[in-house]
Amino acid sequence: MSKLENRTYDELALGDKAEVTHMVSERDLILFAEVSGDVNPVHLDEEFAAATPFKGRIAHGMFSGALISAAIACELPGPGTIYIGQEMSFLRPVRLGDEIRIELEVIEKLPKNRARIATRVFNQDGKQVVDGVATVMVPTEKVSVARPVLPEVKIG
């Protein structure tokens, strides 16, 4: 079983980086729509989405935001990190089947155990789809825990 381990405020250094990849699936869009309540047909209805400027279905913008949140919570700084804020710009659509790469980089350490982290998302073609900066409260105590195994959720 894999572990989740954080970096404490004292361990965190400018330029520290982490990267996570995720393949965007039909299941992702359905589950995100269910949890968020965002059932905009541009995400769920191919015929409707084909008539939009995107010419097909796209992932919810905040789905990318949720993946950024997960990368911060699980990778950098990791377990125990508390979100304070997030600036985010959506540069390009994320589509079904895209393999997106979430890149995090510590760009500033602030007083009171806080840090600013660049949050960038790229598609499989290396094109940036999201740009942003997160402000987080970094843990002061070391944490290492087993990565939880989530139950399978059936769709349909």
Domain chopping of the chain, boundaries: 8-141
Q: What's the confidence (pLDDT) of residue 23? A: 98
Query: In Å, what is the CA distance from 127 to each residue of 1, 76, 94, 108?
Result: 33, 22, 10, 25
Topology classification of domain 8-141: Thiol Ester Dehydrase; Chain A (3.10.129)
Q: What is the pLDDT of residues 12-52, one digit of tens each?
A: 999 999 999 999 999 999 999 999 999 999 999 999 999 99
Positive or negative, the CA dihedral 21, 27, 31, 36 is positive
Q: Model's pTM, two decimal places? A: 0.94
